[in-house]
Amino acid sequence: MTLPAVEAAALARPPARDALAALAPAERVKVIAEVKRASPSRGALAEIADPASLAVSYQTGGASAISVLTEGRRFGGSLQDLTDVRAAVDLPVLRKDFIAEPYQVFEARAADADLVLLIVAALTQPVLHELHALILELGMTPLVEAHSAEEVERALDVGASIVGINARDLSTFELDRDLFGTLADRIPSGVVRVAESAVKDAADVTHYRAAGADVVLIGEALVTGDDPVATLKSFLEAGK
C-alpha cells in the first residue's frame, strides 16, 4: 500500500480507545497481556492459531490492554493478528514492533491499533519526537520503551505519558530484573510506569509492584502456560 493510501486508511478508522485511561495508576498493578508466538531470545514459544480467542481469554482474566507482536521474522506476528484481536475485545490494543518510520504509524492506526510501541534505543531523538507526535495526532497513545537512565530522560523529553522499562537488553538479550527499581524514580508521578520482561510468575509481579510499577507487560508466561485466564488472575492478585 502506498503512503497516501495507508494515510487515508488510517484517517478513515473509528477513534482509538483511550489507552491512557485504561492504564492509569490504580490501587493494584494492571496488566498488558501479550499475544506472542516467538522471541529472538527463546525461539518458538507457542502455536497460536487463533490470537483473537487468546485475547478474549486475556480480557476475561482481567487484562487492562492487549499487546500484539506484529513483527513476522523474529516474533511470528502480523498486522492481521492485531486487526483480529482488536475486533474481538473491548480493550485497547498495542502494536508491538520495531517502529522506525511514519508509514508504520499510519499502518498501525489503519489496522485499528490504540497504542504504538516506540523503542528509544532504536531511534534518534528527532525521529522519536516525530513518531511520538504523529501517534498522538492520530489519536493513539505512545508507549515509549527505555533501558537506561539516559533513555528514560529521552522518553520524558518527548512528553511520554507512558514509559516502559524493559528488563531485557535488546542488544545482548540479557535480563536485569532490578533495572526497573533502579530507574522508576526517574519517572515522575503522573506518568504511567510499565515494567516489561522478566515476569515469569506471581512473585515477579509482587516485586515490580513494590518497585513502583503501575503496569506489567506479560507475554511468555501467559502463552506458555496451560490456562491463561487462571495465570493472569493469579498475577493480578499478586499485584494488589
Q: What is the dihedral of CA 60, 67, 193, 144, to 10 degrees?
A: -160
pLDDT averaged over every residue in the chain? 92
| pLDDT band, very low/low/confident/very high, at 38 (cuts 50, 70, 90) | low
Q: According to the model, what pLDDT value does residue 169 have?
A: 78
Take residue 151 and report the three cell numbers written for it: 533513555
Q: According to the model, what pLDDT value does residue 36 have?
A: 80
Structural domains of the chain in order of their starting residue, each with its CATH number: 3-11+29-238 (3.20.20.70)
- The residues annotated with a catalytic role in the active site are 34, 36, 96, 145, 166, 196-197
Please count the other Cβ atoms lying within 10 Å of the Cβ belonging to residue 26. 11
| 79 pLDDT above the threshold of 60 | yes
Cα angle for residues 135, 86, 97 (degrees, 5° grid): 50
Q: What is the pLDDT of residues 1-28, one digit of tens each?
A: 899 999 999 999 999 999 999 999 999 9
What residue has cell string 497513545?
A: 141
Question: In a 3-state reduction of DSSP, which class is residue 10?
Answer: helix
Closest by CA position to 212, among listed 237, 178, 235: 178
Torsion over CA: 30, 35, 41, 45 (sign) = positive
| 76 pLDDT above the threshold of 80 | no
| pLDDT band, very low/low/confident/very high, at 132 (cuts 50, 70, 90) | very high
Q: What is the pLDDT of residues 109-124, one digit of tens each?
A: 999 999 999 999 999 9
